[in-house]
Structure 1
Amino acid sequence: MVTVTLGKTGITVNKNGFGALPIQRISKEDAACLLRKAYDNGINFFDTARAYSDSEEKVGYAFKGIRDQLYISTKTGASDAEGFWNDLHTSLKNLQTDYVDILQFHNPAFCPRPGDESGLYDAILKAKEQGKVRHIGITNHRLHVAKEAIESGLYETMQFPFCYLATEKDIEIVEACKKQNMGFIAMKALSGGLITNSAAAYAFEAQYDNVLPIWGVQKEKELDEFLSYIDNPPAMTDEMAAYIEKEKKELAGSFCRGCGYCMPTCPAHINIADCARMSLLLRRSPSAGHLTPEGQAMMAKIDDCLHCGACMKKCPYGLNTPELLAENYKDYKEVLAGKPL
């Protein structure tokens, strides 16, 4: 079994982490079955967030009675100390526990520090002193915030997008965390579903001994893939490396990662996370599932775009989202007309 230690936290877990965002979409019992199967087969790190609707409740329900045998990380998107304490108390109640192994600030636009106006870091430090939080982490999609958090020495873990489409700047974040003995948790290891070869995704992550990938799991067959890698971890062969290079060329440039940080505030109610990457989804998965009447209605909302710029301001990757939506809708209509992309 391959393990990874999250820097100075000393937390050592299986190289496969369980990302509990997708279990929002399934029933409580189905989620509990997935979570317990993951735990029973060697996965012992589970990542959730206050923002993931009922995900925390499902994690708490699944692990009642065995809480001390695994690690749970969650996140707060609070903007001030009062919101932080409200989130923490809710998380502890939902998770049916009196402590969180890692509490992370959820994609803040700045790096919380002691004594700043938000009061966030002072609050989380107090929570740690009280034993309600064991380790302090931060998640981000912004390179400058990630770098500032690493250099500050205030955080024990960093959660950041990292997959085989990573740029040199992304890899520098991973290496900087290792140098600072800061745990690195890799989100978006499948790039929001654009990466369909989980073995290649795992082999890439396996090259970095300080990286813990968390795989978003919703279906048992998805979980089974990652469980199979516990005893038979995929290695980076020449063939695998060539495949990844081909993928990087195909997906190079500006594309939506499906992170969802531009939502749900679109005034035209456009499902940006799906619509802005529809061209790639059509190329990389069976198109029939995207061409249903529901899918067509979803894409048609792009015509209602107000070009208000709200999505662009929130995009951590600096994408021209309205332009990207228009390009994807154009491709979508081509496929509807029977023309190949």
Structure 2
Amino acid sequence: MTKVTLGRTGITANKNGFGALPVQRVGFDQARTILRKAYDNGIDFFDTARSYSDSEEKIGYSLSDVRGRITIATKTPSTTAEGFWKDLETSLRLMKTDYVDILQFHNPAFCPKPGDGTGLYEAMEEARRQGKIRFIGLTNHRYHVAVEAIQSGLYDTIQFPFCYLSGEQELEIVRLCKERNLGFIAMKALSGGLITDSAAAYAYLNQFDSVLPIWGVQREEELDEFLSYQENEPVLTQERKDKIAKDRKELSGNFCRGCGYCMPCPAGIEINNAARMSLMLRRAPSAAWLTEEWQEKMKKIENCIHCGHCVRHCPYGLNTPELLRRNYEDYKTFLK
């Protein structure tokens, strides 16, 4: 079982981190089954967020009796000190704990710092003084915000998208974190479902001894895949290198990563899936995306009001309405 240390925090965790966003989509008992199986098989790092509906509550329901043997990272999206304290107290109550190992600012549009007028970083420091958090982290999808956070010296961990589709900017963030002894937590390790070969994804990330991937798990069979890699770690064979090269070629350019920061859409469009439908149709069995339910969801693209909400909130600067239009036109060809 490979371990990774998160920089100066000294936290050492199983290289298989558990991303708890998807457990909000299942019931409490199913979530408990998955979370306990993960824990019972050596997974000891669990990442969640105040924004993930009942994910924190399910972690408390499932793992509070082993709290001292796991690491919990959660996030606050608040932009005010008052909201920060409300979020933290809610997180502690729901997870049935009196401290969070890593509390992260959740994808802020700027890098919170002391004296910036928001009071956010000062609230983090006070929470740490009170023993309610151990370490301060930041998650982001914006390269310049992540780099500023790293260079500020104010943060213990950075969480950023990183997978075998990543480019030079992402690799630079990994290098900077290692140089400055910051923990690096890799989100979107499967690029929001566009990477369908988990063994290749695991083998690629296993090259980086300072990177802790968090795998989003919703089904027990998905968890079983990653648990199997603990005893039989996939290696980066030439076949897998060829697969990665093929995927990089196919997925290069402007494509939706499915992060969901454009949501909710005022017109009711499920943007984070609709804007990458062409890729999903070709990278997974298409039948699941061609149901009557999905036909209705895709038809909502016709109702786009071009309000600019999705464009303003996309951390990758995509022309989302145009992506939606193209994906819908392509989608209709599959229905003929």
Specify if TM > 0.5.
Answer: yes
1:203-222 correspondence to structure 2 within 5 Å: 203-222=203-222
The residue number in structure 2 matching 1:253 is 253
Shift of residue 169 of structure 1?
1.0
1:124-139 correspondence to structure 2 within 5 Å: 124-139=124-139
What is the rounded CA distance, in whole Å, between the counterparts of 2:169 and 2:118 in structure 1?
A: 29
The residue number in structure 1 matching 2:285 is 286
What is the rounded CA distance, in whole Å, between the counterparts of 1:67 and 1:295 in structure 2?
A: 40
The amino acid across from 1:179 in the alignment is: E
What is the rounded CA distance, in whole Å, between the counterparts of 2:229 and 2:114 in structure 1?
A: 41
**RMSD between aligned residues:** 0.6
1:268-295, Cα deviation, whole Å (9 max, x unpaired): 1111001000000100111111111110
Shift of residue 13 of structure 1?
0.5
1:209-262, Cα deviation, whole Å (9 max, x unpaired): 000000000000000000011111111122211110011001111110000000
The two structures have a TM-score, normalised by structure 2, of 0.99
The residue number in structure 2 matching 1:323 is 322
Shift of residue 189 of structure 1?
0.2
1:1-341 correspondence to structure 2 within 5 Å: 1-264=1-264, 266-337=265-336
Q: Secondary structure at the match of 1:136?
A: strand
Shift of residue 325 of structure 1?
0.2
Shift of residue 201 of structure 1?
0.4
Q: Secondary structure at the match of 2:64?
A: coil
Q: Identity across aligned pairs (percent)?
A: 66
The two structures have a TM-score, normalised by structure 1, of 0.98
What is the rounded CA distance, in whole Å, between the counterparts of 1:156 and 1:237 in structure 2?
A: 34
What is the rounded CA distance, in whole Å, between the counterparts of 1:139 and 1:94 in structure 2?
A: 21
What is the rounded CA distance, in whole Å, between the counterparts of 1:119 and 1:178 in structure 2?
A: 28
Aligned residue pairs: how many?
Answer: 336
1:144-198, Cα deviation, whole Å (9 max, x unpaired): 0000000000000000000100001110000000001000000000000010000
Shift of residue 12 of structure 1?
0.2
Q: Secondary structure at the match of 1:64?
A: helix
Where structure 2 has 5 or more consecutive residues not aligned to the other structure, the ranges are none
What is the rounded CA distance, in whole Å, between the counterparts of 1:63 and 1:268 in structure 2?
A: 38
The amino acid across from 2:288 in the alignment is: G
